[in-house]
Structure 1
Amino acid sequence: MNGGDGEQSYANNSVLQRKVISLTKPLRDEAITGLYRNSLPTSLAIADLGCSCGPNTFLVISETIKVVEKLRQEMNHKSPEYKIFLNDLLGNDFNTIFQSLDTFKKNLRNEMGTEMDHCYIFGAPGSFYDRLFPDKSMHFIHSSYSLQFLSKVPEGVENHKGNIYLSSTSPSYVVKAYNEQYKRDFCHFLKCRAQELVEGGRLLVTLIGRQSEEPWSKDCCAIWELMATDLKDMVSQVKL
């Protein structure tokens, strides 16, 4: 994802991702409401996996905190201590995130019209296909539009020429290789999160889906075919 806030940055080209985050708000609200009512934690650890950078990074966090703050006021409880962990790969533009923290906190307080006792925000760089947090340390873990990316290119697809992902011309062994790699990745992801979540914690994951049974359906793969076509055109114009 392109960092910064320029014309080609992810921050200014992530409208679709923001729309998905907005559509899943009722599910997040239900999850965090159930968590808070059942456990009434005085310290709440929240993680967003695959946070990238830009306005979407803080959207989930701010909405989650607002739900908790409304609940705790209704129940006449003291505001919990918030520990927010923002995760993405090592190359993510965490500098841009941290430079906007003061503005984020100020805007959040103004929107809620109340002071929170403590809100700490940390960067948690690394692959979410590995352990990221200590055992039983997280209350709510969220990930949106990130788990479609595999931990690595599946083995045995080196001869899948002309393509950068699955397509209608992909042989069956390539489809199988991607399928098996995804199964391994997703199972390991769930195993890691199960160790990190406290008892009664919540995990909410949003994934790209498709209506067609064909793995190369344009419901989810059209962008990769277009990108592959562009890359082939660029290569053909290179003068050796």
Structure 2
Amino acid sequence: MENKWKEIWNRRKPAAGGLTGDWEHVYLELKRLNGYDVMGGGVPLDSFLDFHAGLKRLLHLAPGKSVYEVGCGAGANMYLMQREGLTVGGSDYAEGLVATARAVVPAAREMGAMEAAEIPTDEKYDAVYSCGVFSYFPDEDYTTRVLTRMLEKSTHAVGITELHDAALYDDYIAFRRASIPNYDERYEGLSRQFLRRDFFEDFARAHDLSIDFPNLAMANYWNTPFIFHVFMYRK
């Protein structure tokens, strides 16, 4: 999946002193590296932590469980989950971000730089999830390949958050054009994928999974009005 986004993510480096100090500071720096610093005053720690708690609940995670993240970026989610007693693993296509994730999550069961559609499936986890990554996929065929890998790697739950809603495409573009000067020129060649909910319903039906589209809002995040989340479970 070669595109300009990959170049952008590989240029992201930790700020000086960003990975030292208390865990809250490190966690927020990892979130910044994962792209949560692009508009407005940023997302406060409490909003991240509330969203994180909801994510764990929907993935049915508790200490001692295992969880794998597709598109882990700099490892912010894994960093927090490992602190909470979970066995973690992850991957991302940006080698620079994976290097940071390795540094902050040295005990990860798996960690690699690779395309989402190429994650290995021999090692299994209770849950497999992806946060804010599917919008960078090129099309539905690639997305189906990733979902299939995620399901093969999971023994119970699959979760995907921050999916851009195809029904809200016009609203999203209007908001971005109003918020960012010369939006079309600045984001030329940096496309996003907008997905339909029934795309996931079809996948769940084909694989005999239960499915949920939960209300999992991240407070103070500019993207929240334009996205949805989906969680699927083996019956």
Q: What's the TM-score, normalizing by structure 2?
A: 0.51
Change (3 A) 1:202 1:219: farther
Aligned mates of 1:217, 1:189 — CA distance in 2: 25
Q: Say which SS state the counterpart of residue 33 (structure 2) adopts.
A: helix
Query: Partner amino acid for 1:46?
Result: V
Paired residue for 1:4, among 13, 31, 44? Answer: 13
Aligned mates of 2:181, 2:134 — CA distance in 1: 19
Q: Do the aligned partners of 1:6 and 1:12 also contact (CA within 8 Å) in 2?
A: no
- Indicate the residue corresponding to 1:25 in structure 2: 52
Aligned mates of 1:216, 1:224 — CA distance in 2: 14
Q: Do the aligned partners of 2:91 and 2:114 also contact (CA within 8 Å) in 1?
A: yes
Give a deviation string over 1:77-131, Cα, whole Å, max 9, x none: xxxxx542221105333333333446xxxxxxxxxxxxxxxx4353222111x24
Question: Are residue 93 (structure 1) and residue 111 (structure 2) matched?
Answer: no
* Overall identity of the aligned pairs, in %: 6
Query: Partner amino acid for 1:124?
Result: G
Q: Say which SS state the counterpart of residue 135 (structure 2) adopts.
A: coil
Change (3 A) 1:226 1:91: farther
Query: Partner amino acid for 1:99?
Result: A
Change (3 A) 1:224 1:26: same
Larger radius of gyration: 1
Q: Say which SS state the counterpart of residue 120 (structure 1) adopts.
A: coil
Count of residue correspondences: 159
- Indicate the residue corresponding to 1:47 in structure 2: 68
- Indicate the residue corresponding to 1:195 in structure 2: 152
Give a deviation string over 1:189-209, Cα, whole Å, max 9, x none: 2211111112xx222211243
Per the TM alignment, residue 132 of structure 1 is displaced from its structure 2 partner at its CA by: 1.0
- Indicate the residue corresponding to 1:116 in structure 2: none
- Indicate the residue corresponding to 1:150 in structure 2: 137
Question: Are residue 126 (structure 1) and residue 114 (structure 2) matched?
Answer: yes
Per the TM alignment, residue 52 of structure 1 is displaced from its structure 2 partner at its CA by: 1.6
Q: Do the aligned partners of 1:52 and 1:88 also contact (CA within 8 Å) in 2?
A: yes
Per the TM alignment, residue 221 of structure 1 is displaced from its structure 2 partner at its CA by: 5.4
Q: Do the aligned partners of 2:68 and 2:127 also contact (CA within 8 Å) in 1?
A: yes
Change (3 A) 1:4 1:139: same
Q: Do the aligned partners of 1:135 and 1:197 also contact (CA within 8 Å) in 2?
A: no
Aligned mates of 1:131, 1:220 — CA distance in 2: 34
Give a deviation string over 1:3-43, Cα, whole Å, max 9, x none: 22249x952962468667545324323134x355xxx96xx
Q: Say which SS state the counterpart of residue 84 (structure 1) adopts.
A: strand
Q: Say which SS state the counterpart of residue 147 (structure 2) adopts.
A: helix
Query: Partner amino acid for 1:207?
Result: E
Query: Partner amino acid for 2:137?
Result: L
Q: Do the aligned partners of 2:13 and 2:96 also contact (CA within 8 Å) in 1?
A: no
- Indicate the residue corresponding to 1:110 in structure 2: none
Give a deviation string over 1:37-94, Cα, whole Å, max 9, x none: xxx96xx4321221222xxx23x23443465x4xxxxxxxxxxxx5422211053333
Per the TM alignment, residue 137 of structure 1 is displaced from its structure 2 partner at its CA by: 0.9
- Indicate the residue corresponding to 2:200 in structure 1: none
- Indicate the residue corresponding to 2:185 in structure 1: 229
Aligned mates of 2:82, 2:103 — CA distance in 1: 20
Pairwise CA RMSD of aligned residues?
A: 3.9
- Indicate the residue corresponding to 2:125 in structure 1: 138
- Indicate the residue corresponding to 1:112 in structure 2: none
Q: Say which SS state the counterpart of residue 184 (structure 1) adopts.
A: helix
Query: Partner amino acid for 1:92?
Result: G
Question: Are residue 61 (structure 1) and residue 18 (structure 2) matched?
Answer: no
